[in-house]
């Protein structure tokens, strides 16, 4: 666009000479409307934005619409949001239909997708093992939305900030849960997690050596437990031991070694992912049979199918079952137990992300320039871009990077 009032040529004594084109530099910042509907608080207590994050976003010129009661389960009142510039909506449909970006923790239901407007951007969790249904994906495609799984978003260091923060919380909280179910209060065998002088400390077996496992190790060591960590990667084991010190025992998954550890364990924390193409579990049902009665299993990786054969997907309403005399806790959203802490952590991821979207002035440009955000996209403007989902459901998918070249 030429600058108003300018000419493409300068008058020169020898004739017309071409002049440099003056391009108008406008403000690229775009004011975004962000919608935060309330979750089903019986299964999810977290909220994607805290009042402080809302204040930051409104300070950047954006509008934030929240359904009444959206933060209640995390002990945030509507007035906490309205005092920071948030707009409280009584009807859920208003939040869905009146925004550019929809923020949720749990993926929207089919009914909620019906309220979504076309070409909207949806940011929520999405796990292939628990949420992948053909009707659901096709409904998103028909709406031509851009759907982003926040657990797949990468930062500039190629890390997954949402996953790391939630994993750290889940790892620490899993040890606190284990302490609950070992105690008499929850019908356990009345054992204190940890150790005191003159009494043999409890034994904690942790499967995996990632972020969740590391924080579980730190929490278990902190109360004085004897900790053993198993993983199928020497590199990850070495990295974990360097981070937490020599007080923890580490081993690869050797059948005889893991069986011996399972027989004496008071607590087993499953913090290693069961991959989609993996045919067997890390801990078989026969190994669980060998465990002490009243011991506790907490399968953090249940959202990806679990890593223990006896695990069954449960919710916060009914989180526990007993199998072979062993207490099982298999809930996918453990951070929801500490909803306020988890909400602050995830809000710290969302707020800068949205600010970055607004600064470019065009969401399409943001997807082109932000490779980490692009990594989380599984539907782009109605086109499926996740090959794993496509293969699972028999729906053709396209490469996201190739789409970016076309749009």
Lowest mean pLDDT among 280-294, 332-346, 355-369, 389-403: 355-369
* Average pLDDT value for the chain: 88
Q: Contact, 353 vs 367, CB < 8 A?
A: no
96 close to 102: Cβ distance less than 8 angstroms: yes
User: Rounded distance, CA 53 to CA 61, Å?
Assistant: 13
pLDDT tops 80 at residue 92: yes
pLDDT band of 130, cuts 50, 70, 90: low
The pTM of this model reads 0.86
Structure tokens at 356: 């970055």
**Confidence at residue 177, expressed as pLDDT on a 0 to 100 scale:** 97
pLDDT given at position 257: 96
Q: What are the tens digits of pLDDT across the range 388-404?
A: 899 888 999 998 888 88
pLDDT band at 21 (very low <50, low <70, confident <90, very high): very low
Confidence grade of residue 9 (pLDDT, cut at 50, 70, 90): very low
Q: How confident is the model at residue 158 (pLDDT cuts 50, 70, 90)?
A: confident
Per-residue pLDDT at 283 = 94
- Write down the pLDDT at residue 358: 87
With CA atoms as reference, report the closest residue to 274 among 322, 339, 201, 330.
330
The residue assigned the tokens 């801990």 is: 283
> Phi and psi at residue 108, in whole multiples of 5°?
-65, 150
Instruction: Output DSSP code: residue 162.
Output: H
More confident residue, 405 or 226: 226
User: Residue 23: is its pLDDT beyond 50?
Assistant: no
Q: For the residues of 94-112, what is the DSSP string, one character each?
A: HHHHT-SEEE-SSPPPHHH
Position 49 pLDDT exceeds 80: yes
How many Å apart are CA 26 and CA 160, to the nearest integer? 34
Tens of pLDDT, residues 268-327: 999 997 654 455 689 999 999 999 999 999 999 998 888 999 999 998 889 999 999 999
The ranges assigned to domains in the chain are: 33-153+339-406, 161-332
Its CATH architecture, for the domain 33-153+339-406, is 3-Layer(aba) Sandwich (3.40)
Which positions are annotated as active-site residues?
127
Q: The domain 161-332: what is its CATH number? A: 3.40.50.720
Check: CB of residue 193 under 8 Å from CB of residue 225. yes
Provide, rounded to the nearest whole percent, the portion of the chain with pLDDT above 90. Answer: 66
Ramachandran area for residue 29 (φ above 0: left; ψ -120 to 50: alpha; else beta): beta
CA distance 135 to 128: 14
The tens digit of pLDDT for each residue in 199-236 reads 999 999 999 999 999 999 999 999 999 999 999 999 99
């Amino acid at each position: 666009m030429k600058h108003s009032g300018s000419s493409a040529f300068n008058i020169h004594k020898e004739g017309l000479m071409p002049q440099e084109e003056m391009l108008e530099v406008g403000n690229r910042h775009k004011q975004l409307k962000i919608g935060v509907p309330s979750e089903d608080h019986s299964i999810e207590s977290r909220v994607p934005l805290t009042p402080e994050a809302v204040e930051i976003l409104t300070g950047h010129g954006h509008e934030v619409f929240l359904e009444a009661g959206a933060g209640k389960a995390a002990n945030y009142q509507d007035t906490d949001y309205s005092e920071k510039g948030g707009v409280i909506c009584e009807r859920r449909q208003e939040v869905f239909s009146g925004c550019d970006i929809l923020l949720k923790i749990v993926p929207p239901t089919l009914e909620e997708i019906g309220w979504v407007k076309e070409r909207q951007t949806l940011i929520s969790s999405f796990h292939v093992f628990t949420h992948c249904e053909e009707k659901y994906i096709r409904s998103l495609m028909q709406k031509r939305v851009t759907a982003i799984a926040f657990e797949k978003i990468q930062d500039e260091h190629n890390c997954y900030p949402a996953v790391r923060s939630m994993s750290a919380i889940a790892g620490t909280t899993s040890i606190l849960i284990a302490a609950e179910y070992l105690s008499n209060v929850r019908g356990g065998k009345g054992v204190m997690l940890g150790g005191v002088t003159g009494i043999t400390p409890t034994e904690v077996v942790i499967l995996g050596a990632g972020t969740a496992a590391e924080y579980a190790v730190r929490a278990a060591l902190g109360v004085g437990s004897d900790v053993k960590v198993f993983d199928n990667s020497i590199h990850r084991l070495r990295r974990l031991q360097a981070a937490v010190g020599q007080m923890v025992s580490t081993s690869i998954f050797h059948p005889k070694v893991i069986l011996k550890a399972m027989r004496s364990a008071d607590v087993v924390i499953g913090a290693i992912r069961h991959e989609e193409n993996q045919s067997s579990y890390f801990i078989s049902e026969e190994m669980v049979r060998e465990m002490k009665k009243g011991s506790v299993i907490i399968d953090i990786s249940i959202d990806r199918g679990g890593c223990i054969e006896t695990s069954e997907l449960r919710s916060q309403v009914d989180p526990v079952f007993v199998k072979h005399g062993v207490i099982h806790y298999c809930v996918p959203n453990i951070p929801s137990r500490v909803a306020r802490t988890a909400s602050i952590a995830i809000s710290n991821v969302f707020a800068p992300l949205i600010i970055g979207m607004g600064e470019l002035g065009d969401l399409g440009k943001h997807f082109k320039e932000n490779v980490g955000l692009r990594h989380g996209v599984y539907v782009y403007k109605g086109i499926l871009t996740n090959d794993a989902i496509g293969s699972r459901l028999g729906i053709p998918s396209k490469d996201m990077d190739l789409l970016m070249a076309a749009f």
